Amino acid sequence: MALGPIDILLIEDNASDAELTVHAFQKYSRTKRIHIVRDGAEALEFLHCTGTYADRNETLQPKLILLDLKLPLVDGHYVLRQIRSNATARHVPIVVLTSSREARDIYQCYQLGISSYIVKPVNFDEFTDTAKVIAKYWLELNQPQAG
């Protein structure tokens, strides 16, 4: 799958959460280029340019990665480790957007180098507001590391 530049890589297995996230980002930010992967294995294919993504240009990294931790096939912690060990992707900001409030998950994710940890709000309006803030900060205000 040959992909052009994307702004956000959304790693999310829940179709409703993915749809809501995409809707909120497209409504409240300038980005229209969001790519969704549905499980940890697909995320690794994207990262390593294998399988479905064998034709992807590895130098075209997203501006932001939104990562759910509770993923099928390969869990989010492993995906996070792989992203941070990949020379071309390690500089990309990663926001963990998950339902887990477990202190162990939060600690481990920060140890692995995430940029932010956000617990998904369950209320539609709160979720939309959260997505709006994430988009504003990470895609407009934040000055990314040159890489």
Which pair of tokens denotes residue 17? 């959460």
pLDDT of residue 31: 73
Length of the chain: 147
pLDDT of residue 73: 93
Burial of 84 (0-12, 13-18, 19+ CB in 10 A): middle
Mean pLDDT of the chain: 88
Residue bearing the bigger pLDDT, 112 or 60: 112
d(CA 42, CA 118): 22
**Where do the structural domains in the chain lie, given as residue ranges?**
8-133
Q: What whole-number percentage of the chain has pLDDT above 70?
A: 95
Task: Report the predicted TM-score, pTM, of the whole model to 2 decimal places.
Answer: 0.90
Phi, psi of 45 (to 5 degrees): -60, -45
CATH number for the domain running over 8-133: 3.40.50.2300
Q: Which residues pair with 89 in a beta bridge?
A: none
Q: What is the pLDDT of residues 24-43, one digit of tens each?
A: 888 877 777 899 999 999 99
pLDDT of residue 124: 84
pLDDT of residue 3: 63
Residue bearing the bigger pLDDT, 8 or 140: 8
Q: Cα 12 to the chain's mean position, in Å? A: 8
Q: What is the pLDDT of residues 62-97, one digit of tens each?
A: 889 999 999 999 999 999 999 999 988 888 999 999
Residue for token pair 């162990």: 104
| The pLDDT of residue 118 is above 60 | yes
d(CA 9, CA 129): 19
